[in-house]
Amino acid sequence: MNKTRTTGHISRDDLESKLRAFQGEIKGAVDNQRNNLMVAAGAVGLVVVIVFFLLGRRSGKRKSTVVEIRRV
């Protein structure tokens, strides 16, 4: 064990090692969540594009214009 721990003093090395360990844990969790979020955002984007495509097709069928061409 480190002698500084037995006296109650916290050294810079102790703080640095604890903060680096904490940072590593947080970074791993954030990376996992970022991947999940990117997949979810892609899926939501795809669903939105499909919905707008289908709504546009429906709107196009409802408002279609018939053009009649006659030769004189």
What are the residue boundaries of the structural domains of the chain, listed by start?
3-62
d(CA 48, CA 42): 10
pTM over 0.85: no
pLDDT tens digits along 20-42: 888 888 888 888 888 899 999 99
Taking all residues of the chain, what is their mean pLDDT, rounded to a whole number? 82
Q: Considering just the CA atoms, what is the radius of gyration of the chain in Å?
A: 31
Instruction: Residue 14: count other Cβ atoms within 10 Å of its Cβ.
Output: 13
Query: What is the sign, positive or negative, of the torsion defined by CA atoms of 55, 56, 60, 61?
Result: negative
